[in-house]
Amino acid sequence: QVVPCSWRSPGPYQLAHDRLVAGAASGLIAAGAALGVAELIAAFFPSVQSPVLSVGNVVVDNVPSWAKDFAIRTFGENDKTALIIGTTIFLFLFAAVIGVITTKRRIAAPIGAALFGLVGAASALTRVGAGPLAVVPSIVGGIVAWLVMDLLLWPPQAADKVSESTDRRRFLVGSSLVVAGAAAAGGLGRVLSGVFKVSTNRDDIALPAPADPAVTLPSGVDPDIEGLTPFITPVDKFYRVDTALEVPRVNGDDWELKVQGMVDEERSYSLADLLDRKLVERTITLVCVSNQVGGTYASTAKWLGVPLAEILDEAGVQDGADQLLSRSVDNFTAGTPIETIYDGRDALLVVGMNGEPLPIERGFPARLIVPGLYGFVSATKWLAELNVTTFADEQAYWRKRDWAEQAPIKTFSRIDRPGGLGDKVEAGMVAVAGVAWDPHVGIDKVELKIDDGKWVQADLAPVPSADTWVQWSYGWKAVPGSHNIVVRATNADGETQTSDRVMPIPDGATGWQKIVVNVT
């Protein structure tokens, strides 16, 4: 008789429904097994990535042009998890389809598995420093996927040969074993990768005191206003934007920074070389070009490092060079105008942040910070090379993806409080407050326009230098009702932030932020 939902009864996949369930389930199980095994193998080789990670990385580096604006924003902060989950779901769907086809055509399993293996292997090979071993996790994963599907689905036995229950038991036992094995392999892989992957020696590093310390913050910085952004951003609150799906873990003992290209003499520096030098500390605000109007992709820290001009001078920059193309260990590049390294601003080769060795997510052991330039043209983390070259000869990572070549930070102001519609504001004196920036130029004035009123000037807290943002505040006598507040800043050159709304791509968003506040 035919029992709905039963496994192959009375003949092989008597019901189309049986075939779908059995095929899809086997495909999913096979994909899980492949990933678990690949993860386990990848754990043994420091430079080898699991297939999902390497495919995800290829996606990051190759998103189509129309998605670029989305991409720089998206790959910015937390959405790496989304990308990895997306890649995994895609893989599982693909495996389910292959499983269903395999119930009819045995050959589908090896073909599908080979495709999986090839895409994974090809992706792994494109990663920096990938040796031939990089293909091993994907290929073994592919073979495992094929064997699991074949084992679970072939031969499709007919009910007159094997009883329904035996057949079903075979499937359930087989698939449970595979699932358990895959989970164990994957879990073990995760644990082992912590053991085998390069460990950083960040914890052993003792930062020297700066020979030239940062200016003490003037009193009046950080006025006592709830909800106002703190002047110095703690490391764990500092915005994070990079293309790295897996944070590069560099060991400072083996690390070497190469200075090369259009120089009189190539140089190389170890971390110890840098820590032995006279270090300067500066408070500088870093901003991401993908920051939107009202956005929070800007933060301020105390950076400890070596003036970049000193390093370039030791190699000797040749005539005609106009670009410093810095490259990270994971092949991100930024193109910084050499002019901005020599015009007297504090362009730094950074080894410390807020009094600690550079945190791993911030580019341990060394990164660049150049006041006044967006991060994508200046702030390379996990630095590996400084290439002296020209803009005509070489294009940096985001330049190749339609972003600008020259990208000074634009004048910008943001309202931190009130927080807009969701915020409960009671009538009376209300502190309106926020931050404004034009790093390296400085902010002279922040103004607010409330409803149809005239522009009124906000109070500015003091700043240690023109390289940081400024905290502003305004005492507003709020009356009940719905109100609009618009903010704009004027920089130290007397230029007022433009009201023209443009998107971040190619060289930074502009426009005034406007919030709506409901006062009760």
Using CB under 6 A, list all residues that contact ligand MTE. Answer: 238-244, 286, 288, 328, 330, 332, 362, 375-376, 379-382
Q: Choosing among ligand MTE, Mo ion, none, which partner's interface includes residue 483 (Cβ < 5 to 8 Å by kind)?
A: none
Q: Residues touching Mo ion: how many (CB under 5 A)? A: 4
Q: How far apart are CA 60 and CA 514, in angstroms?
A: 33
> Scanning residues 277 to 296, which ones bind Mo ion (CB under 5 A)?
288
The least CB distance from residue 303 to ligand MTE, in Å, is 10
The least CB distance from residue 274 to Mo ion, in Å, is 24
Q: Select the residue whose beta carbon is closest to Mo ion and give its number.
A: 288
* CB closer to ligand MTE out of 238 and 474: 238
* CB closer to ligand MTE out of 17 and 237: 237
* CB closer to ligand MTE out of 61 and 447: 61
* CB closer to ligand MTE out of 116 and 364: 364
Q: Choosing among ligand MTE, Mo ion, none, which partner's interface includes residue 382 (Cβ < 5 to 8 Å by kind)?
A: ligand MTE
Q: Choosing among ligand MTE, Mo ion, none, which partner's interface includes residue 281 (Cβ < 5 to 8 Å by kind)?
A: none
The least CB distance from residue 379 to Mo ion, in Å, is 8
Residue 385 Ramachandran class (φ > 0 left, ψ -120 to 50 alpha, else beta): beta
* CB closer to ligand MTE out of 79 and 150: 79
* CB closer to ligand MTE out of 241 and 478: 241
- Convert residues 212-251 into a mask of x (bound to Mo ion by CB under 5 A) and - (unbound): -----------------------------x----------
Provide the 10 A C-beta neighbour count for residue 243.
18
Q: Choosing among Mo ion, ligand MTE, none, which partner's interface includes residue 372 (Cβ < 5 to 8 Å by kind)?
A: none
- Treating both helix axes as pointing N-terminal to C-terminal, what angle do 16-43 and 79-102 enclose, rounded to 10 degrees? 130
- Convert residues 348-387 into a mask of x (bound to Mo ion by CB under 5 A) and - (unbound): ---------------------------xx-----------
Q: Choosing among Mo ion, ligand MTE, none, which partner's interface includes residue 231 (Cβ < 5 to 8 Å by kind)?
A: none
Residue the block writes with tokens 């700043």:
463
Q: How far apart are CA 65 and CA 87, in angstroms?
A: 20
Q: 24-58: string of b/e by CB count within 10 Å (b at 16+)?
A: bbbbbbbbbbbbbbbbbbbbbbeebbbbbbbbbbb
Q: Choosing among ligand MTE, Mo ion, none, which partner's interface includes residue 472 (Cβ < 5 to 8 Å by kind)?
A: none
Instruction: Label the pairing between strands 348-353 and 298-307.
Output: antiparallel
For 112, 350, 407, 477, the CA distances from 286, given in Å and listed in that order, are: 46, 13, 13, 34
Q: Select the residue whose beta carbon is closest to ligand MTE and give its number.
A: 375
* CB closer to ligand MTE out of 240 and 249: 240
The least CB distance from residue 204 to ligand MTE, in Å, is 22
Q: Choosing among Mo ion, ligand MTE, none, which partner's interface includes residue 243 (Cβ < 5 to 8 Å by kind)?
A: ligand MTE
The least CB distance from residue 350 to ligand MTE, in Å, is 10
Residues 6+ positions from 338 with CB-CB distance below 8 Å: 312, 317, 321, 322, 323, 324, 388
* CB closer to ligand MTE out of 29 and 334: 334
The least CB distance from residue 383 to ligand MTE, in Å, is 8
Q: Which two tokens stand for residue 55?
A: 């495919």
Q: Choosing among Mo ion, ligand MTE, none, which partner's interface includes residue 242 (Cβ < 5 to 8 Å by kind)?
A: ligand MTE
Q: How far apart are CA 19 and CA 171, in angstroms?
A: 13
> Is 508 a binder of Mo ion (CB under 5 A)?
no
Q: How far apart are CA 305 and CA 437, in angstroms?
A: 23
Sheet holding 481-491, edge to edge: 456-457, 443-450, 481-491, 513-519
Residues 6+ positions from 391 with CB-CB distance below 8 Å: 322, 323, 335, 405
Residues 6+ positions from 93 with CB-CB distance below 8 Å: none
DSSP per position, 99-148: HHHHTT-TTHHHHHHHHHHHHHHHHHHHSTT--GGGGHHHHHHHHHHHHH
Q: Which residues bind to Mo ion, rule: CB under 5 A?
A: 241, 288, 375-376
